[in-house]
Chain A
């Protein structure tokens, strides 16, 4: 396939958190608001006068100082963020909108609160929001109240950000346009012979999470246009198609590694994936914008921390439905080492998905940035071969 026009530019933007567009966004007089988790609604941080930056720690392979603070027995992602913060890599953020949604990222954010010299930015402040574990009315009420107090009031009182309904509506509109563009680009993954790779798509999607949206939207539009005429290779250069499911994953090189073994990643149902985060927000009749946001983020999330019975059970089917929809031949379930939620979820998915839904599963425990790529390559190659064999046996 012909290279995407802006891919190298997008790749460059992912090389560091404080990238060119973030700097430009701040020069334009906006404040940069950091967050780590889908449960902190990105759209609220993209209110006029502010922009959201989902924190990443690209190229952090050895979080040594962070391991002193958080030991070597916690999630590599949380420690990598801490390391980057200690290195001064997040000094550009003016506030951190924190959630206590998984232990180690919470601990990272608590360090930012407790050690007031880590973020070298006079404006810097941090605020925690409580996120419910259920998608019930009670859960949505609670979430709405929390967002109102700990996000809107915080931004208004501390940073003088306009949090009126009109401002929220504007943020939702901009957010939805990004979502529609990403969805449009993502739809090409459903083709029998997809015209976009998982790596390319992940790059594009990640860029929208870490840059001010108003500075990236033109290039997204161009890319979406470019996709309309993009031709696939005559002979597909992949052997199977897979859905990637699991925990935190913002490392495009990991996707590249999978694809280099012959498995094209056609669906991304993981933290930092697009299937949840890039669904447009719909405001129902009689709903305030904030209510719609609270409902949207709670109901669209497929996080492993939801505890209602029907939700725990529906999660498995949802993964299988996505695989159906994107015509995946198999599912790769990933968890980060030391991630409590996904250690269990991965184990259960690995048992239930092949048994009840007939999908072969490759179960992978990974680090945030994977240095042991040789071992992973062997695993993926073996998985690709086993799926191919299965297809041959089934006469496909």
Chain B
């Protein structure tokens, strides 16, 4: 037992204590790493951020989001309490749901560690937007899941699609729900609780799949092989995006789902305008297929309206990029920025995105007007390139807290970088084709090396002085170009840290190994000292 040390008590500075209590400890004195319970990633206690921010976190983030995780179910079920019953049934039936859903607030915790003031608020709104959109999809899935007693009429008016099929393809269908097959069961759950996905990867490998294909595709295949996909749809649309692995998993999906399937592949050489027509026809094919499968007529006016709404989201995004690139007042951290952007641009337009953007814009405008330095301990402005580790998307938060590495933008956020014309059906379709060709993990990864090397111009555009080079060890496209990147980094004298990872599978490269690689680079190459040494090494091997 520890002895009570009277001397220590005498040494305490009451004024400092009061100040820390009221304002929270300044960066550098926080020792956030001491808060963890070893291995688990749980907190001995949550971070004290000063009275104002702690109470904001407690009331407006923790309580607010826990509350909305219930009320949103009702909202998206049209107020029907049966929605709650379906939700519970789904939670008890599907691993990705039952093991993951309640851990959502810990995802917030990990990603918002150390955040204060406007940054805390704006980033949390981004997360709230994501959670709301997830709940919409989950509720829609369970309310239609006929194996759980869902509504067969709703089931009939649903199209399932690969998560890489952009939701905008289905904008023109009133009363038809379009729900990505993998976005919630695989993609989002990895971020919240990466334990579940390991079951799916193992399921695919147990049937003879080698360990080297992209683990994201392996996990997606495993969800089908484990019979863990709700039966909420009569037909599905697949695509070749983002890579060969996505094409290859289509066979597993087709086999396990055994329902009518429309493949909507996108051209690879997308700089060539002669491919647009083919791509547009495939999108039209998907629209026709949706009409046939759901019995609902396509409505051009509705498509136009939704695309105009989506264009507004794109304009908001450009405004955010402008602030991020040219000021120190961008109030959203790296992980909040990346996940929100990829989610809304891929899934497509929803009210919750507009509501979120309005709130965030207000905060951002205030930051710009008052010239608030939102990340005051920034030492390096970082651009993250290639695809990110899903089990450690919160690395950006850690890197800022520990080293002052502020992730300004990442590669996947820069996809879909366009507005879609709605002046005529033909123009609209061609732009939709272009938009689809510019999908995440694809826009920079296929169609020529010039795309992947857009890094240099984006570094300049966003005023970044360092690259966090994601090294997805099972991504053949990125592995196939590592040497040229090395050559270019050397030739351009750019500080780049290679961060190995295996997308959802923390068993290949652990989070501790990722941190060690960054630590080593910062100590040995940059010759810098950490802002918070308690974050250098800690054991979160079994954490969510």
Direct contact of A and B (CB under 8 A): yes
Chain A residues proximal to chain B, CB less than 8 Å: 68-71, 73-75, 78, 100, 102-104, 106-108, 110-111, 113-115, 128-134, 138-139, 141-142, 145-146, 149-150, 304-305, 307-309, 312-313, 335, 337-338, 340-341, 343-348, 350-352, 363, 365
A-side contacts of B263, CB under 8 Å = 133-134, 307-309
Of the listed stretches B58-66, B446-454, B529-537, chain A binds B446-454
B-side contacts of A71, CB under 8 Å = 479-480, 482-483
A-side contacts of B243, CB under 8 Å = 103, 340
The 9 closest A-B pairs by CB, nearest first: A69-B483, A107-B480, A344-B248, A133-B265, A142-B278, A307-B263, A340-B244, A130-B269, A100-B268
> Least Cβ distance of A229 to chain B in Å?
45
Contact present for B473 and A73 (CB under 8 Å): yes
* Interface residues in B281-325 (C-beta closer than 8 Å to A): 281-282, 285
B212 part of interface (Cβ distance < 8 Å): yes
B-side contacts of A74, CB under 8 Å = 476, 479-480
Contact present for A130 and B248 (CB under 8 Å): no
B-side contacts of A350, CB under 8 Å = 208
Task: Give the distance in Å from the alpha carbon of A341 to the alpha carbon of B217 in the complex.
Answer: 11
If A132-B265, A133-B247, A308-B263 touch, whether A75 touches B476 (CB-CB below 8 Å) is yes
Task: Give the distance in Å from the alpha carbon of A345 to the alpha carbon of B477 in the complex.
Answer: 19
**Size range of the interface on B?**
35 or more
If A128-B448, A351-B207 touch, whether A338 touches B476 (CB-CB below 8 Å) is yes
**Chain A minimum-CB-distance residue to B485:** A69
B-side contacts of A130, CB under 8 Å = 267-269, 272, 275
B-side contacts of A75, CB under 8 Å = 476
B-side contacts of A351, CB under 8 Å = 207-208
Contacts beyond the supplied A68-B483, A132-B278: 16 A-B pairs with Cβ under 8 Å:
A70-B483, A75-B476, A104-B480, A106-B446, A106-B480, A113-B448, A134-B263, A134-B282, A149-B272, A305-B244, A307-B250, A312-B251, A340-B247, A344-B248, A352-B255, A363-B208
Contact present for B255 and A340 (CB under 8 Å): no
**Chain B minimum-CB-distance residue to A133:** B265
B245 part of interface (Cβ distance < 8 Å): yes
> Least Cβ distance of B287 to chain A in Å?
14
A-side contacts of B474, CB under 8 Å = 73
B-side contacts of A338, CB under 8 Å = 212, 476
- In-complex Cβ contact of A70 among B247, B261, B269, B480 (8 A): B480
**Chain A minimum-CB-distance residue to B453:** A114
> Least Cβ distance of B500 to chain A in Å?
10
A-side contacts of B238, CB under 8 Å = 307
Task: Give the distance in Å from the alpha carbon of A348 to the alpha carbon of B255 in the complex.
Answer: 9
17 contacts between A and B (CB under 8 A): A74-B479, A128-B448, A132-B278, A133-B247, A138-B282, A139-B278, A142-B277, A149-B272, A304-B247, A307-B247, A308-B263, A309-B254, A309-B261, A340-B244, A343-B210, A344-B221, A348-B255
- In-complex Cβ contact of B265 among A103, A114, A307, A337 (8 A): A307
Task: Give the distance in Å from the alpha carbon of A201 to the alpha carbon of B449 in the complex.
Answer: 38
Task: Give the distance in Å from the alpha carbon of A313 to the alpha carbon of B257 in the complex.
Answer: 13
Chain B residues proximal to chain A, CB less than 8 Å: 207-210, 212-214, 217, 221, 238, 240, 243-245, 247-252, 254-255, 260-263, 265, 267-269, 272, 274-275, 277-278, 281-282, 285, 446-449, 473-474, 476-477, 479-484, 486
If A73-B474, A100-B447, A307-B238 touch, whether A343 touches B482 (CB-CB below 8 Å) is no
> Least Cβ distance of B233 to chain A in Å?
15
Task: Give the distance in Å from the alpha carbon of A78 to the alpha carbon of B446 in the complex.
Answer: 16
Contact present for A100 and B446 (CB under 8 Å): yes
Contact present for A149 and B274 (CB under 8 Å): yes
> Least Cβ distance of B164 to chain A in Å?
13
Task: Give the distance in Å from the alpha carbon of A352 to the alpha carbon of B476 in the complex.
Answer: 27
Contact present for B449 and A114 (CB under 8 Å): yes
**Chain B minimum-CB-distance residue to A103:** B476
If A70-B482, A103-B244 touch, whether A347 touches B477 (CB-CB below 8 Å) is no
> Least Cβ distance of A76 to chain B in Å?
12
If A69-B482, A138-B282, A142-B278 touch, whether A345 touches B476 (CB-CB below 8 Å) is no
If A128-B448, A347-B209 touch, whether A307 touches B240 (CB-CB below 8 Å) is yes
If A128-B448, A134-B265 touch, whether A344 touches B209 (CB-CB below 8 Å) is yes
Task: Give the distance in Å from the alpha carbon of A73 to the alpha carbon of B221 in the complex.
Answer: 21
A-side contacts of B214, CB under 8 Å = 340
> Least Cβ distance of B140 to chain A in Å?
24
Contact present for A111 and B484 (CB under 8 Å): yes
Most chain A beta carbons < 10 A, residue from B269, B282, B473: B269
Task: Give the distance in Å from the alpha carbon of A133 to the alpha carbon of B217 in the complex.
Answer: 18
Task: Give the distance in Å from the alpha carbon of A75 to the alpha carbon of B479 in the complex.
Answer: 10
Contact present for A337 and B477 (CB under 8 Å): no
> Least Cβ distance of A86 to chain B in Å?
11
Contact present for B285 and A138 (CB under 8 Å): yes
Task: Give the distance in Å from the alpha carbon of A146 to the alpha carbon of B275 in the complex.
Answer: 8
A-side contacts of B476, CB under 8 Å = 73-75, 103-104, 107, 338, 340
A-side contacts of B210, CB under 8 Å = 335, 337, 343, 365
Contact present for B278 and A312 (CB under 8 Å): no
Contact present for B269 and A100 (CB under 8 Å): yes
**Chain A minimum-CB-distance residue to B471:** A71
> Least Cβ distance of B109 to chain A in Å?
34
Contact present for A312 and B250 (CB under 8 Å): yes
Task: Give the distance in Å from the alpha carbon of A78 to the alpha carbon of B476 in the complex.
Answer: 11
Contact present for A340 and B479 (CB under 8 Å): no
Contact present for B269 and A128 (CB under 8 Å): yes
Contact present for B479 and A341 (CB under 8 Å): no
> Least Cβ distance of A141 to chain B in Å?
7
**Chain A minimum-CB-distance residue to B245:** A340
A-side contacts of B207, CB under 8 Å = 347, 351
Task: Give the distance in Å from the alpha carbon of A347 to the alpha carbon of B207 in the complex.
Answer: 7
**Chain B minimum-CB-distance residue to A338:** B212
Contact present for A305 and B247 (CB under 8 Å): yes
> Least Cβ distance of B283 to chain A in Å?
11
Contact present for B254 and A312 (CB under 8 Å): yes
**Chain B minimum-CB-distance residue to A130:** B269
> Least Cβ distance of B488 to chain A in Å?
10
Contact present for A133 and B240 (CB under 8 Å): yes
**Chain A minimum-CB-distance residue to B480:** A107
Task: Give the distance in Å from the alpha carbon of A145 to the alpha carbon of B277 in the complex.
Answer: 11
Task: Give the distance in Å from the alpha carbon of A338 to the alpha carbon of B248 in the complex.
Answer: 13
A-side contacts of B217, CB under 8 Å = 340
If A74-B480, A351-B207 touch, whether A313 touches B254 (CB-CB below 8 Å) is yes
**Chain A minimum-CB-distance residue to B236:** A309
> Least Cβ distance of B139 to chain A in Å?
29
Task: Give the distance in Å from the alpha carbon of A78 to the alpha carbon of B481 in the complex.
Answer: 12
A-side contacts of B282, CB under 8 Å = 134, 138
B-side contacts of A363, CB under 8 Å = 208
